[in-house]
């Protein structure tokens, strides 16, 4: 292990402290409301619109912010209230469970978002076969 790399125990302790800071219970998975909100956000992000781009930027920053780009919270001002509420719900879920979307079974959906909004991050594997050239989560 590298000297600056945190152990699993230190990582878990950090997640607990962050969740406590947000006054959230630590969860292992999305609850029903969060899963529905995430499904709505994905559906919305697959639409070619200004709000769809904002939602896609938020979701892709969660998936891999190093490669997909960070998310500017001021962009939330450009969302309808219902969509913004879903983003806030997912943000809280991300903080409480400390998991990437592919670990929650959303790899295909996020790959579609990546292909739509960050096509430069795909590579040709074979005839008609495209694959992300980045790690799903970092």
More confident residue, 9 or 131: 9
Domain boundaries, the chain: 31-132
Lowest mean pLDDT among 28-37, 48-57, 90-99, 118-127: 118-127
Which tokens belong to 45?
């992000």
What is the C-alpha to C-alpha distance for residues 39 and 36, in angstroms, rounded to an integer? 5
Q: What is the mean pLDDT of residues 67-84?
A: 92
Q: What pLDDT does residue 29 have?
A: 81
With cut-offs at 50, 70 and 90, classify the pLDDT of residue 122: confident
Residue with tokens 């096509």: 119
**Which three-class secondary structure string do you get for the chain?**
CCCCCCCHHHHHHHHHHHHHHCCCCCCCCCCHHHHHHHHHHHHHHCCCCHHHHHHHHHHHHHHHHHHHCCCCHHHHHHCCHHHHHHHHHHHHHHHHHCCCHHHHCCHHHHHHHHHHHCHHHEEEEECCEEEECCCCCC
pTM above the 0.75 mark? Answer: no
Please state, in angstroms and rounded to a whole number, the distance separating the CA atoms of residues 34 and 30: 6
Q: What is the pLDDT of residue 1?
A: 47
Would you tell me how many other CB atoms lie within 10 Å of the CB of residue 115? 14
Predicted local distance difference test score (pLDDT) of residue 76: 93
Q: For residue 95, what pLDDT is reported?
A: 87
What pLDDT score was predicted for residue 79? 94
pLDDT digits (tens, 9 = 90+) for 44-68: 999 999 999 999 999 999 998 888 8
């Amino acid at each position: 292990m590298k000297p600056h790399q945190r152990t699993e125990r230190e990582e878990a302790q950090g997640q607990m402290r962050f969740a406590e800071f947000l006054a959230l219970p630590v969860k292992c998975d999305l609850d029903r409301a969060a899963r529905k909100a995430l499904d709505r956000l994905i559906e919305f992000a697959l639409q070619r619109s200004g709000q769809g781009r904002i939602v896609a930027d938020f979701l892709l920053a969660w998936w891999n912010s190093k490669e997909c780009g960070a998310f500017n919270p001021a962009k939330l001002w450009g969302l309808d209230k219902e969509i913004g509420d879903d983003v806030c719900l997912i943000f809280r879920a991300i903080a409480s469970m400390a998991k990437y979307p592919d670990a929650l079974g959303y790899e295909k959906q996020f790959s579609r978002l990546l292909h739509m909004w960050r096509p430069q991050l795909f590579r040709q594997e074979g005839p008609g076969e495209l694959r992300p050239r980045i790690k799903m989560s970092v």
